[in-house]
Amino acid sequence: MPDTCLLLPACLPACLPTCHARAQTTNVKMAAGSKGCWEITACAHGPQAGVGCGYGCKPLPKGQPKSIGDCNFNGAWSTHKNGSITSVMDGHCLQTHAHEGGAVTVDICTGGANQKFVWEVVNAKPHGHPSALYVVKQGELCVQQQG
């Protein structure tokens, strides 16, 4: 599936819609020609729910979800100083299966290494972009759109 987020060695940048280093709550747009943002596929909120990178970008919603699985929030993420990234929709942590080509999913937060990420600045504010570009890494691999 070309819209699936995977852990891959080719580190293409993503951008945040703000101009400061990291927002507490944000959406994450894939750069390098993609029109997609990270979102929980089909608004699923069970264990191992898939995360897509190429389905389009919703505006960041205002307020709080009305219930777990509120689909207006499936593309809203909270970044944390401990390296975790949580879904605003259901509070689950973004995670990988810690190997090249491994799927990126969300699940209950455990604090494990597979739920910790580093936001590495690639370009502080490139021409034509309203925000900084980052690669989202786990070790030497990056969260990327398949294909």
Strands 49-52 and 77-79: unpaired
Residue 79: pLDDT band (50, 70, 90) is confident
Domain boundaries, the chain: 5-145
Residue 31: pLDDT band (50, 70, 90) is low
List, for residues 86-132, the tens digit of each pLDDT value: 999 999 999 988 677 788 999 999 999 999 998 887 766 655 555 66
Taking the C-alpha atoms of residue 56 and residue 3, their distance in angstroms, rounded to an integer, is 10
Which whole number is the average pLDDT over 45-69? 82
Taking the C-alpha atoms of residue 94 and residue 101, their distance in angstroms, rounded to an integer, is 16
Taking the C-alpha atoms of residue 131 and residue 14, their distance in angstroms, rounded to an integer, is 10
Higher-pLDDT residue of 142, 6: 142
CB-count burial class (<10 Å; 0-12, 13-18, 19+) for 102: middle
5-145: CATH class:
mainly beta
- pTM greater than 0.85 (yes/no): no
Q: How many residues does the chain have?
A: 147
- pLDDT computed for residue 120 by the predictor: 81
Residue 16: pLDDT band (50, 70, 90) is low
Taking the C-alpha atoms of residue 112 and residue 47, their distance in angstroms, rounded to an integer, is 15
